[in-house]
Amino acid sequence: MERSVEIVVAGVVQGVAFRWQASAEAERLGVTGWVRNEPDGTVRCRAEGPAEAVARFVDWCRRGPRWATVERVEVTDVDRRGFGSFEISG
């Protein structure tokens, strides 16, 4: 079963290698999509793939890299786009 989600991560999540580490974790899990910094200081991700892999990616986002302080994570189910890889943008 496939799942596609949009994730917004708030806290100290910019300037701490969150995007780079998220990309590495997504690749390790076989998740596709993208991650980007937002002007309001959050990080936004789109992740899709096997439901279990996406759930594990969401769990990772709740912790982030060791330099991050994750205060809030919002997860919304969205329509699948069929990404071919996981990209860092913005």
Tokens of 78: 């969205």
68 touches 15 (CB < 8 A):
no
Closest by alpha carbon to 23, among 14, 35, 15? 35
Catalytic residue among 3, 19, 46, 56: 19
pLDDT digits (tens, 9 = 90+) for 37-81: 999 999 999 999 999 999 999 999 999 999 999 999 999 999 999
Annotated catalytic residue 72: no
User: What distance separates the 2 farthest-apart alpha carbons in the chain?
Assistant: 34
Annotated catalytic residue 37: yes
Query: In sequence order, what DSSP letters do the residues of 31-72 get, joined into one string?
Result: -EEEEEE-TTS-EEEEEEEEHHHHHHHHHHHHH-STT-EEEE
Catalytic residue among 3, 28, 36, 37: 37
Whether this model's pTM surpasses 0.85: yes
